[in-house]
Amino acid sequence: MTGLECLALVIYFEARSEPVAGQIAVAEVVYNRMVDHRFPDTLCDVVYQRKQFSWTHDGKSDVPKNKKKYNKIYALAKEIQKGDMFEGHGATHYHADYVAPYWRKDLTLIKKVGKHMFYRWETK
C-alpha cells in the first residue's frame, strides 16, 4: 500500500463526514506524527500504528463503501501531498467532540474543526 492510499484511507474513515478543513486537519495530524520522534516515520506506519486510529482495529472492513466519497478524498489526499495545505498548528492528536479521552489532559487544545478537537504537546 502506498502512502497516498494510507492517507486517503485515514481521512475517509476518520473524517469523511467532516468539512474539507477538518479532513485536511486530520491529514496534518498524520504528517505531524510522521516527523515527530515519538511516532513512526512513514505515512502508512503512522496510520497503522497499534491502536492509534480506531478504524484500523475495530474488526470492520477497511474497504471504503462509498466509492464516490472515497474518490473525492483520494483526490484531496493527492493535493495534500503536493504541500502548502497545512496551517502549521502542530497537532499530533485529535478526538471527536463527543468523547473525552484521558490523554487530552496532558496536551494543549489548539482548535475545533467540525466535530474534532485538535491537540499538541507543548515543547519544553
CATH for 20: 1.10.10.2520
Give domain status of residue 101, yes or no: no
Question: Is residue 7 assigned to a domain?
Answer: yes
DSSP H helical ranges for the chain: 3-15, 20-35, 43-47, 67-82
Which residues sit opposite 95 in a β-bridge? 117
In a domain, 36, yes or no: yes
Domain count within the chain: 1
Q: Would residue 38 count as lying in a domain? A: yes
Residue 113 lies in a domain: no
Residue 124 has pLDDT above 70, yes or no: no
The answer to whether residue 115 is domain-embedded is: no
The predicted pLDDT at position 115 comes to 96
In tens, the pLDDT along 33-87 reads 999 999 999 999 999 999 899 899 999 999 999 999 999 999 999 999 998 888 8
For residue 52, what are the domain limits?
Answer: 3-89
Which pLDDT value is given to residue 95? 96
